[in-house]
Amino acid sequence: MSQIENQLAARGLVLPPAVQPPPGVVLPFRFVRIVGRRAFVSGHGPLNADGSIAAPLGKLGRELDVEQGYVAARLTALAMLGSLQRALGDLDRITAWTRVFGMVASAPGFDRQPSVINGFSDLVLELFGPEIGAHARSAVGMAELPFNIPVEIEAEVEIAE
């Protein structure tokens, strides 16, 4: 078992399978696109352990509070790690988290997007440490996100060959 898998297991965390989109929805793209030593990760949302879209759904500042958004961002990190593991075969191949772009479905007036996306960043830093896990990041509010999810996050990582 890899170091990252050991850390996940020690925390009782499970990487979900690929998202199960709603009926009739086609997702004609790769969740992870590897080019050289870079892996570009498509936008991911919060998933349950079975790959279904995790509740609660809705907007921060209306249906969800910051704590619920933080949990959604953490679940999004697990979904993304699942995709990276399937694409790379081993999460220990990640040598640097370079960029994270966090999108938060926000009700008018909600301005705590960075606190929400901290759920993602905190887990990445916890698992990968301050060197590999360090990343540049944006956290922005969006009027709507697909399937009414509260958080969508995309990333770029550097990988070992």
Beta bridge partners, 38, equal 35, 158
Does a structural domain hold residue 58?
A: yes
Return the structure tokens found at 139.
């956290």
The confidence score (pLDDT) of residue 22 equals: 87
Does a structural domain hold residue 140?
A: yes
Interval 6-60: pLDDT, tens: 999 999 999 999 998 889 999 999 999 999 999 999 999 999 999 999 999 999 9
Dist. CA 35–CA 159, nearest whole Å: 10
Q: How many domains does the chain have?
A: 1
Dist. CA 153–CA 6, nearest whole Å: 24
Does a structural domain hold residue 38?
A: yes
The confidence score (pLDDT) of residue 72 equals: 98
Q: Is the dihedral of CA 65, 80, 159, 4 positive or negative?
A: positive
The identity of residue 1, as a single letter, is M
The confidence score (pLDDT) of residue 1 equals: 75
What count of Cα atoms within 13 Å lies in the side-chain half-sphere of residue 125? 12
Interval 77-113: pLDDT, tens: 999 999 999 999 999 999 999 999 999 999 999 999 9
Q: Does the pTM exceed 0.85?
A: yes
The confidence score (pLDDT) of residue 6 equals: 95
DSSP string, 26-38: ---S-SEEEETTE
Supply the range of the domain harboring residue 142. Answer: 3-12+30-159
The confidence score (pLDDT) of residue 19 equals: 93
Residue 156: how many other CB atoms lie within 10 Å: 17
